[in-house]
Amino acid sequence: MEFAETKLKGAFVIALERREDSRGFFARAFCRTEFEQHGLNATVVQCNLSFSERRGTVRGLHYQVAPRAECKLVRCVHGSIFDVIVDLRPSSPTRLQWVAVNLSADNRSALFVPEGFAHGFQTLEDRSEVLYQVSEFYSPEHERGLRWNDPAFAINWPIAATIISERDQNHPDFLK
């Protein structure tokens, strides 16, 4: 795997290191040892699959707070997404900054989302499917959300939002 740290410390885009032959290719998509060598939490307690029927669907921005704060490894396995993370860590020099990465079935890259980050995405194609590996079990009492179009972050979504859940539309603005 090839790890490229984003401008937000601890958040990495992870590309596959492909071994190709006449059959196609083989690549490791996760390796606990390599994650730990990069200082990343390699705990995986749950894998989640998200399917969105329509292009323009927005999901997020979601996160969990301590003691159930979670890391995520996010990969688009069908279609493509504009994947967004926002640094919410109180002492971070990049607090309230965001990074977006295009993840797709074609590029097969993943985004490692550290604890203390909100996460969301917008589908760029119909029938997009996203696989998440997470380091904590889902905990409704620790779940939080921020509105996808909160002016505190000014995220430049690439296309018009077409479908957003009522819950995601009604998340509060971030209070500094």
| Residue pLDDT, tens place only, 95-139 | 999 999 999 999 999 999 999 999 999 999 999 999 999 999 999
- Over residues 31-63, the pLDDT tens digits come to 999 999 999 999 999 999 999 999 999 999 999
Q: Which CATH superfamily is domain 2-18+29-169 in?
A: Jelly Rolls (2.60.120.10)
- Over residues 18-27, the pLDDT tens digits come to 898 999 899 9
Reduced to 3 states, what is the DSSP secondary structure of residue 121?
strand
* C-beta separation of 110 from 35 below 8 A: no
Cis bond leading into 90, ω under 30°? no
Secondary structure E strands in 22-134: 24-26, 46-52, 57-64, 72-78, 80-87, 98-104, 110-113, 117-123, 128-134
Q: Whole-prediction pTM value?
A: 0.94
Which is the catalytic residue, given 62, 63, 142, 171?
Answer: 62
138 flagged as catalytic: no
Cα–Cα–Cα angle for 107, 113, 115, rounded to 5 degrees: 170
- Over residues 1-13, the pLDDT tens digits come to 999 999 999 999 9
132 flagged as catalytic: yes
Spatial separation of the C-alpha atoms in residues 46 and 19, rounded to whole Å: 28
Which is the catalytic residue, given 38, 78, 119, 132?
Answer: 132
Per-residue pLDDT band at 176 (split at 50, 70, 90): low
